[in-house]
Every structure is written in C-alpha cells, then in structure tokens.
C-alpha cells in the first residue's frame, strides 16, 4: 500500500561519509541529506560532500542542509559540490527561500496548528515538516509531532514528513498523512552521523513496501 502512496521515496539525512552514502543508495534510498551546519555532529566535510556528489549524483537526489547560513555560503557549497537542492532549517524568511530558486525549500518545526500555517506561507512546491522541540537541535531530535497536523499540507504541497520516524512507525505515518517523501536521521543511526545499515534497510522496506 505504501508503495503507491510514497512517490518521493525515502530520504536519509545526516550522511557524513562516502561509504554510508553509497550503502544507503544501494539499499534503495531515494535522497540523501548532507548537513553543512556547524552545530551538529551530523555535519559533513565539504570535500566529502563533493566526493559523494561526484560518485552518486546520477543514483540518488542529493540535498544540502543549512541552518541560518548566508546566501554566499549556500552558493559556495552549491558551486563546489554541484548540489542544487537546498533544505533550510533555520529562521530563514520566505523571500530568502525564494531567492535561492525552485530547488530550495523550507523545513519547519511543528508543535501546533500555527506552525503549519506558518509553513504554508513559504514558497515552492516542497515543504518539510519536523518536530519542534524547545532547546533541541533543528532536526534529528528523534521526536515526532502530531501527524494529523500535516495532512492538509500533504494535500497542497509535496510534503516531506520528518520527526521521530523509524521502521516501526513509518508505514502508519505514510498511511495517515500521505506525504510525498519521508525523511529520517536518528531513526537509522548507531550514533549521530553514523548510519546503521540494517536500520536503513528496514526503514526503506517499511516506507516503500519493497
């Protein structure tokens, strides 16, 4: 059933090594998130990101993740790696997202209905909804939010659903919300930034019905 619902596939975020990137791609992951925020243990080195892009750009979608970076830094990473898709996890306003072009989209932390309304004010076809946890990092917290809050967004946009997903709950999340894509970080890790490939394989199977 989920194979029919999840047209955008599964995205694994917080990839830090070429080995994990290749292994995830081989397991059927549709997209990989490479985090360039200095405040996370999931940060990828720029040269590693370039190597991942050179090896895998024709196999998976690659997404560069930033938190309140300035436009010059984002464009520098784009230039060096060739990665065009950008996911913005900070307090970036809608016009900043629009200025980066159609390959950029906003990630919004959700704790209530007002956060969903704020998310829909952002431009673009895609939106990512994650859990908003006070005092925690913007993403990768392992916490879920109330999925029913995301249903309307999934009807109106290409929704990327994140927040506390793992192999044990992702099929239920897909059935309830019908997102375009699901996104996981901590739910497939042995440690922050290190992927547990058995968990990745289980997540992909649960999300896609493969």
Which residues are annotated as catalytic? 13, 130
Q: Any idea what DSSP says for residue 43?
A: B
Q: Tell me whether residue 17 is exposed, middle or buried, using C-beta atoms within 10 angstroms of its C-beta: 0 to 12, 13 to 18, 19 or more.
A: middle
The radius of gyration computed from the CA coordinates of the chain, to the nearest angstrom, equals: 15
Q: Which two tokens stand for residue 88?
A: 């913005």
Give the pairing type, strands 194-195 and 189-191.
Answer: antiparallel
> In the numeric block, which tokens belong to residue 196?
């547990």
Three-state DSSP at 143 gives coil
Spatial distance between the Cα atoms of 86 and 78, rounded to a whole number of angstroms: 9
**Is residue 158 within 8 Å of 126, Cβ to Cβ?**
yes
Q: What are phi and psi of 7, to 5 degrees?
A: -75, -25
């Amino acid at each position: 059933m989920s194979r029919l619902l999840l047209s955008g596939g599964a995205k694994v975020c917080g990839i830090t090594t070429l080995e994990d990137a290749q292994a995830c791609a081989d397991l059927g992951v549709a997209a990989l998130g490479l985090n360039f925020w200095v405040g996370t243990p999931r940060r990828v080195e720029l040269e590693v990101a370039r190597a991942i892009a050179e090896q895998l750009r024709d196999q998976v979608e690659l997404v560069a993740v930033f938190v309140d970076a300035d436009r010059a830094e984002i464009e520098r990473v784009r230039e060096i790696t060739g990665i065009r898709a950008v996911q913005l996890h900070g307090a970036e306003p809608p016009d900043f997202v629009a200025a980066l072009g159609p390959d950029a989209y906003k990630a919004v932390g959700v704790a209530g209905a007002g956060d969903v309304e704020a998310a829909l004010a952002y431009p673009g076809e895609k939106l990512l909804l994650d859990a908003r946890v006070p005092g925690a990092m913007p993403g990768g917290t392992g916490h879920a939010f109330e999925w029913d809050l995301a249903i309307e967004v999934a009807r109106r946009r290409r929704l990327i659903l994140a927040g506390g997903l793992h192999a044990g709950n992702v099929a239920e999340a897909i059935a309830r919300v019908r997102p375009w894509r699901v996104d996981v970080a901590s739910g497939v890790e042995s440690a922050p930034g290190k992927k547990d490939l058995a968990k990745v394989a289980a997540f992909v199977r649960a999300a896609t019905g493969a």
